[in-house]
Amino acid sequence: MSHYPKRSIMLKAFSRLQARVNSLRTEEEGATAVEYGLIVALIAAVIVGVVALLGQDILGAFTTVEQQIP
């Protein structure tokens, strides 16, 4: 019979944890904002990468076009 109080404590702790996880699932506004923030950060990183890789080539193309204009 001495095992029942330990089970009760564990059951209460598990119930609290489960309630907290369920409450996090229903809070979609915060998760959506975080997801949009991650998407924006990824897009910014891709833009920085493309500019770093192609920046000089694009600058050369614009310079060539500029020199061809009378």
Query: Residue 45 and residue 38: Cα distance in Å, rounded?
Result: 10
Alpha helices in 1-70 (DSSP H): 3-26, 28-68
CA 11/CA 1 separation, integer angstroms: 16
Round to whole Å and give the CA distance between 46 and 54.
Answer: 12
- The model carries a pTM of 0.45
Task: Give per-residue pLDDT as tens, 38-52.
Answer: 899 999 999 998 888
Distance CA 70, CA 54 (A): 27
For 3-62, the pLDDT digits (tens) are 556 567 767 777 887 887 777 666 566 667 788 888 999 999 999 988 888 888 888 999
